Amino acid sequence: MVTYQYLCDEHGFFDIVKPMGTAPKTSRCPKCSKRARRHFGVSVPPTKGWPMACEALACHPSQIPEMQAEMRKRMGTTTEFDSMGRPILQNRAHRKQYLAAHEVFDRDGGYGD
């Protein structure tokens, strides 16, 4: 069995497990049931547009529940993580809030905030 990764425009990454060579081009998002396209190249996060998987603030996948709980406490909202442990930043405001909660400032982000 192989894990295939899909990307919902709204909810970020999710995985499905299927026998090798049987991955459909699209799969229904488990959260909204919209068609999500297959995502190739698991180590490459989307670099343009939102939502964005944040490589720099990723944690080990085993730490996702712990990180999610901590971020919920600090931010008051829930942040989704992909299977690689990368937080899914929904938009610019979310990114800013997430960075602040991490006490991180991104000088080179080119966002001006």
- Residues of the shown chain interacting with Zn ion in the complex, contacts defined by CB under 5 A: 8, 10-11, 29, 31-32
CA distance 36 to 21: 18
Q: How far is the CB of 72 from Zn ion (least distance, A)?
A: 20
Pick between residue 80 and residue 101 the one whose CB is nearest to Zn ion: 80
Report which of 90, 61, 64 is spatially closest to residue 77, judged by C-alpha positions.
90
Of 32 and 100, which CB lies nearer to Zn ion in the complex structure?
32
CB of 28 to Zn ion, least distance (A): 9
Nearest approach in angstroms of CB 103 to Zn ion is: 30
User: In this complex, which beta carbon is closest to Zn ion, that of residue 46 or of residue 74?
Assistant: 46
Q: Give the number of other CB atoms < 10 A from CB of residue 10.
A: 13
**Which among 60, 47, 35 has a CA at the least distance from the CA of 89?**
47
Q: By beta-carbon distance, which residue lies closest to Zn ion?
A: 29
Partnered with residue 81 across adjacent β-strands are: 87
